[in-house]
A and B are shown apart, each in its own frame.
Chain A
Amino acid sequence: MTMDRIGPPIESLTHRLLDTPPDFLDEPRIGHSGQVYATAVVNDLLLRHGSRADAAALARFRSNDARADRNRLLLVSVTAWLLADDWFVTAALPQDALLRVLDEAVAELAAATPADRFVKDPDRREELARVVLARLGHRPEGETLAQATDRLSGISGTERRRLIEASRAAEQRARAIREALAKKAAEESADKWTRE
Chain B
Amino acid sequence: MIDEAIERENYPTLTDAGRDVLQRLREHPAAPAYRNQSGNRLLAADLPGLREFERETLAASVGWPAGRQPDWLPAFVQEVFSDVPWYRALGPPPQRFEDVPAIGRGDLAADIARFVPDSLPLDRLINFRTTGTTGQPLLIASHPVVAARYLALHKRALRRFGVELTHGRGQVGVVLLGHQRECFTYVSVTPLMDESGLAKINLHPDDWRNLDDRARYLDAMAPEVFAGDPISFAELLELPLTTRPKALICVSMALSTGLRALLEARFGCPVLDVYSLNEVGPVGVYDPAAGGHVLLQPRLYVEVLDAEGRALAPGQRGEIAVTGGFNFCLPLLRYRTGDFGALAHRADAPVIVGLAGRQPIRFRTRGGQWLNNIDVSHALRELPFSRYSVHQQADGSLVLRVPPGERAHAAAAVAALKALLGDPPVTAESLTGDGKCIQYTSDLAGAAA
Contacts and interface: CB of A to CB of B under 8 A. Distances in A.
B310 to A, nearest CB: 6
Contacts of A184: 125-127
A34 B91 contact: no
A86 interface: no
Interface residues of A, number: 40
Contacts of B92: 25, 71, 74, 114-117
A67 B90 contact: yes
Contacts of A189: 38, 41, 126-128, 142, 147
Interface stretch (A8-16, A52-60, A170-178): A170-178
Contact of A191 (B40, B88, B123, B154): B40
B22 interface: no
Contacts of A176: 122
Contacts of A181: 112-113, 125, 127, 139, 141
B331 to A, nearest CB: 14
B309 A31 contact: yes
B94 interface: yes
A196 B277 contact: yes
Interface string A12-23: 000000000000
A193 B113 contact: no
Nearest to B150: A192
Interface in A61-75: 66-67, 70-71, 74-75
Given A25-B92, A170-B85, A193 B154 contact: yes
Given A31-B309, A195-B227, A190 B147 contact: yes
Ordered nearest first, which 7 A-B pairs have the shortest CB separation? A71-B91, A66-B101, A190-B147, A174-B113, A177-B113, A116-B92, A32-B308
Given A184-B126, A194-B276, A195-B252, A70 B39 contact: no
A193 B249 contact: yes
B168 interface: no
A67 B89 contact: yes
Contacts of A194: 150, 154, 176, 227, 249, 251, 274, 276, 282
Contacts of A170: 85
A25 to B, nearest CB: 7
Nearest to B306: A32
A92 interface: no
